[in-house]
Amino acid sequence: MKFTLLPLLLVVSSIGSVFGFGGAPGGPFSNGQYFPNDGTFTAVVRGLNLVGTVTFSTTTTGGNGSSGISTIYYNGATFTGNTQGSYNPQASSMVVNFQADSEGQGQQTYSASTQTPAGTTISTETVTYFDAQSLDGVAQCKMSNAFPNQIFKGTGEANFRQLVFPASGAAPELNVVQISPISVSGVRLSNTATNFTSSDVRPPSVNEYSTLTTP
């Protein structure tokens, strides 16, 4: 009987020492091995001439993120907008997306007409544009447990968009600059999702069309 009880006592003692040190998995004093799909996270985003913060939540519905918020500084301008996070606990990964803008003069429309020398046809060019600067980015991150927190790090790329106005007075052109790589480094703030208010992020755009009129 003594020989059969000794291994059992050693196993019980070993389990008790693990929980005594870290607590139950997923708890505030655990070793961080089991975190829920729900959670609120924050991260720092860095790139060439770019730095900012994103805060977002994930939910149990497929790990999809609720709307988060972003504040990004790029080339001296401030961009604010939204963030989403998609958490895959099986792969220990997180995909982080963000969209932010800095509005310029807003929506503008102008028209210019040209008449043929014979006066038989008038060509009218109408340009409608939305003047803004925008940033959007995505990063693939790897999750890891750093007692008592859950952290994630990864890299990705971002795109900066703005309108360029030619000196000739012609229609503005859309210019896109790729910022690669960007780095994302973040941490879990809580084990519950937070509801964020979404921002209306609108990138710059140009719509140009012509009409012909015959007198």
State residue 147's pLDDT score: 74
**Torsion sign over Cα 191, 150, 84, 75:** positive
Residue by residue, pLDDT tens for the chain (215 residues) are: 444 444 433 333 333 333 333 334 444 444 445 788 889 999 999 999 999 999 999 876 544 556 799 999 999 999 999 999 999 989 999 999 999 999 899 999 999 888 888 778 888 999 999 999 999 999 999 999 877 899 999 999 999 999 999 998 889 999 999 999 999 999 999 999 998 999 999 999 999 989 988 76
With H, G, I as helix, E, B as strand and everything else as coil, classify residue 194.
Answer: coil
Domain residue ranges in the chain: 29-213
List Cα–Cα distances, 106 to 13, 19, 109, 161, 203, in angstroms. 69, 59, 10, 14, 11
pLDDT of residue 78: 97
Q: Contact 12/143 with Cβ under 8 angstroms?
A: no
CA angle 117, 122, 124 (to 5 degrees): 130
